[in-house]
Amino acid sequence: MAVSIIQGARIAGLVSCLPERREDTADLATRFGEATAARIAKATGIEARRLAAPDQCASDLAEAAARDLMDGLGWEPGAIDLLVFVSQTPDHVLPATACLLHRRLGLERRCAAFDLSLGCSGFVYGLWSVGALLATLPAGARALLLVGDTTSRLIDPLDRSVAPLFGDAAAAVALVRDGQAGPMTFDLGSDGAGAPYLMVPGGGMRRPAAEPAAPATLFMDGTQVFAFTLREVPRSIAATLEAAEWSIADVDHIVLHQANAQMIRHLGQRIGARPERMVLALADVGNTSSASIPLALTQALAATLTGPRADGGGCRLLLSGFGTGWSWGTVALACPPLAVCRTIALEEGGRSRPSPAPPFALDPDKTKS
């Protein structure tokens, strides 16, 4: 689509939420063998993943993130005008999970709530959708963008092409209608021809039964995913930078969908980015689908995004999500200092607590393997 520029929407805070359960390379070695598990970890940069408990859904992680964010900002439930939930692992076929979260968070009836069904591009699409809607509302209007997936529920634990890669997480983003906010510049696109290469064939209305011919587990053709990413993402980033009138050197931090380290390295080289500007924060969490970009922000850049800048401006971020669909989206924005930016963990049983950030690298070449 044509580049979209949104004025008047400002990010106020961000909280990510991880489940407590952790599975690492040693656990994978019991299923696939030590040599295979070590080889996968070295190639992907993923050494561990967080997995939701059997009774936890993406909505539970999103609710915990939203509550922590609202508390940190001092936002009352009655002051929120819009809630959007982005996920491909909803609680039910219907109703929309956003409506369930609306009730659980105690929001007022005048607050609009709806779902977006997108995966790895979902955070950028959600930011675009919420920003565009906020621009139509009065000054000071507030919105919650909630994103998250429990992709582990869709994984065959014996499928070595996906089991070592995907983890579970959610994030909550607070946005405010602010006429003084700088622009957010988006480039969005899709190509449905790629749908069969990253898909859960069964479980929907087309093939509701989980049969051998249509299993309700995730299938991924990694070669096709890699080729699509290298073809479309650099073009999307170039279009976004051109529309924003930025060069790649103007960007403080580049946060790509955290799919795997090798892919991020290749994309960084393709777009001519300095390695120290590239954020890599997937070693301890894996590919968390729609939550991967906000999770990378809270894991790797919390101190940067909450601290003042010497020039008084915002931190210049380039964010790009891409994957199932095919679907992709890139945004360039100057993020002002955030009042809240952190990661929490949700224990089994529902209690949340601060989660210490694991080691991460801004330079993919320095990531431990």
Task: Count how many Cα atoms sit within 13 Å of the Cα of residue 81 in the half-sphere of its side chain.
Answer: 16
Place of tokens 């479980």: 203
Residue 257 annotated among the catalytic residues of the structure: yes
Please enumerate, as own/partner, the contacts of 76-79 that have beta carbons within 8 Å and a separation of 24 or more: 77/105, 77/106, 77/107, 77/108, 78/107, 78/108, 79/142
Q: How far apart are CA 144 and CA 113, in angstroms?
A: 9
Q: How far apart are CA 282 and CA 47, in angstroms?
A: 8
Please identify which of the residues 287, 315, 335, 341 carries the catalytic annotation: 287
Residue 120 annotated among the catalytic residues of the structure: yes
Sign of the alpha-carbon dihedral angle for 144, 150, 154, 159: positive
The residue type found at 307 is G
- Residue 178's DSSP bridge partners are none
Q: Which of 360, 269, 343, 335 is nearest to 302 (CA)?
A: 343
Q: How far apart are CA 269 and CA 183, in angstroms?
A: 27
State yes or no: cis peptide before 77, omega within 30 of 0: no
Give the pair of three-digit tokens for residue 98: 């956003």
Please identify which of the residues 17, 57, 257, 260 carries the catalytic annotation: 257
Residue 111 annotated among the catalytic residues of the structure: no
Cβ atoms within 10 Å of 235's Cβ, excluding its own: 15
Please identify which of the residues 17, 57, 111, 120 carries the catalytic annotation: 120
Q: How far apart are CA 279 and CA 331, in angstroms?
A: 15
Residues labelled catalytic: 120, 257, 287
